[in-house]
Amino acid sequence: MQLFDSRDERFRLSFGAVKEGTAVLFRICLPRSLGCTGSRLTIRGDSLMERRDGMFWAGMEGEDAEWWDCHYAPERPDVYWYRFELDTAAGKRYLCREADGTASLRDKPGAMWQLTCYAADFVTPGWPAGGVMYQIFPDRFFSS
C-alpha cells in the first residue's frame, strides 16, 4: 500500500513549485490496522518556525485503508520542508521521505519532503524557452 508519494497527484496537488498563496492539497492513505486517531502535516520553512496543521479524515480506500487530507498555502516565498505525524494505537508515528519520494512509517522523525514556493510576481526569463539547460562539472568526469 502506498502511504504517500510526492510525485503522484493523488497525494499532492498542486505539483512542483507553487506561487505564494497557492493552496496545496496533501493526502495520505493509511492502513486501518494502524488505528490512526489523528494526523498532522508538520511543515517548516528555512526562515520559519515549525508548525503543525491538523488533517481531517476524508474517507475509505476499499475496506482496509483510509484517506487523511489537509490544505496548506505558503504565505511567502521560501523552501519548505514537511512530513506527517500520526497518532496511532501504538503511539506517535511519522511518515518520512524515502529517496524515491514515497513514504515509510517510522517511530522517530526522519527525512522530509520539499515544497518550493516562489513570489507571486516572479516571471520566467524568455531567453531559455524551449531550451535545455545544463552545467558541466569537469572535475567529475575528467582526471587532471
Q: What is the pLDDT of residues 96-143, one digit of tens each?
A: 999 999 999 999 999 999 999 999 998 877 877 777 766 665 555 544
pTM, 2 dp: 0.83
Is 23 in a helix, a strand, or coil? coil
Nearest Cα to Cα of residue 2 among 65, 73, 55, 57: 65
Q: What share of residues in the chain are helix, strand, coil (percent, to 5)?
A: 5, 45, 50
Amino acid sitting at position 124? T
Half-sphere exposure of 102 (CA within 13 A, CB side): 7
Model confidence over 3-29: pLDDT tens digits?
999 999 999 998 889 999 999 999 999
Mean pLDDT of 43-60: 90
